[in-house]
Amino acid sequence: MEHALLLAERGRGKVSPNPLVGCVLVKNNTIIAEGWHDHLGGLHAEQMAIHDAEENGHSPNGSVAYVTLEPCNHFGRTPPCTEALMWAGVKEVVIAHHDPNPTVRGNGCRALEEAGIPTRTGLMEAEAREQMLAFLHWCEHRRPLVTVKLALDANGSVDDRSTDPQRFTSRGCLEKVHELRRDCDAVLVGVNTVNRDNPQLNVRLIPSTRQPLRVVLDPNGRVNSSAQLIHDGGETLLMQENFTGLSSLMHQLADQEIQRVLVEGGPTTVHRFIEAGLVDELFLVHSDAVHASPVPSGITSDVLVSAGLDLAHEYVWGDERVEHYLRSF
């Protein structure tokens, strides 16, 4: 299952709104085939694994399938994986996480059991949950997972009013931020960020097959009409409604199959999300830079703790130290 989880990673940034899924077929304690959901519209993991076995001269008949998500039992972009597993003669299916998609929800396991193929669910479930959290969250709550990224100088400031807008984190850090953008379906900022920084908010420092939707909160219609993100040909959504509580905005985004939104706004926008109780995850980037005319972020560990966020991991992105806070779900 550990190997299946690793294979699933190969679809990162390419499968949304589908989940990352990996699968291996095992016979006589040996992995005879590998599969993963590689891109939207591509084969499901189980079908790729069966195909891989056949291509390499192994019969999947009598093998055990380890798959990170309950196999689907419906005709969607591909035919049902349950049927592919039955036809292949798989003798048992071990699953990490059930599929909360209303069209699956236990039907995959039921169909397999009825065909005489035993199933076992829950192996490395927590790891699988973390990997496909945005998909699971969207199925379960009908709103996107909210990830916040905020960079601070040595004194907790987000900007230096004494200079023109400029990046104060390293190139290595910026590349990691682009990886984060690639893994999100939308990037959201407030109008102040657009007017001061004139950002592009796209993925350009690393390869990517798609760009996130840009969302700008602009309740009073103040956006600078010459802003790059309005004119560069990419997709941008200008939200002019005044979202109190923001939950209608979240449902609106969910309806557009946005499963994970990256909030890269300034402190006003970030605090609106925190106050609405909508932050699921936060990356706090700590730089050694010192701003001459600081703009305090107002983000302290007390604020984060009362927002239900716990420090889960620490990373180094380029020259910066990053704290990764997660909501205790």
Q: Under the criterion CB under 5 A, does residue 201 sit at the interface with Zn ion?
A: no
Residue 18 binding result from ligand AOF, Zn ion, none, given CB thresholds of 5 to 8 Å by partner type: ligand AOF
The count of chain residues that interact with Zn ion, using the rule CB under 5 A, is: 3
Q: Give the nearer residue to Zn ion in terms of CB position, either 35 or 212.
A: 35
Residue 72 as a binder of Zn ion (CB under 5 A): the answer is yes
Q: Which does 88 bind (CB under 5 to 8 A by kind): ligand AOF, Zn ion, none?
A: none
62 binds, options ligand AOF, Zn ion, none, Cβ within 5 to 8 A by partner type:
none
- Site residues, ligand AOF (CB under 6 A): 18-19, 21, 37, 44-46, 69, 71-72, 76-78, 81, 99, 101, 104
Any contact of residue 21 with Zn ion (CB under 5 A)? no
Q: Does 81 bind Zn ion (CB under 5 A)?
A: yes
Compare residues 76 and 172 and give the one whose CB is closer to ligand AOF. 76
Catalytic: 114?
Answer: no
**Secondary structure of 107-148 as H, E, C letters:** HHHHHHHHCCCCEEECCCHHHHHHHCHHHHHHHHHCCCEEEE
Compute φ and ψ for 120, nearest 5 degrees.
-140, 125
Closest to ligand AOF by CB, 12 vs 231, is 12
How far from 300 is each of 98, 147, 191, 284, CA to CA, in Å?
Answer: 37, 17, 24, 11
Cβ 95 to Zn ion shortest distance, Å = 12
CB 327 within 8 A of CB 308: yes
Query: Residue 310: which region, alpha, beta or left (left: phi > 0; alpha: psi -120 to 50)?
Result: beta
Q: How far is CA 146 from CA 26, 27, 84, 198, in A?
A: 37, 41, 36, 23
Do 265 and 188 meet the contact criterion of CB atoms below 8 Å apart? yes
Residue 185 CB, nearest approach to Zn ion (Å): 21
Positions marked catalytic:
46
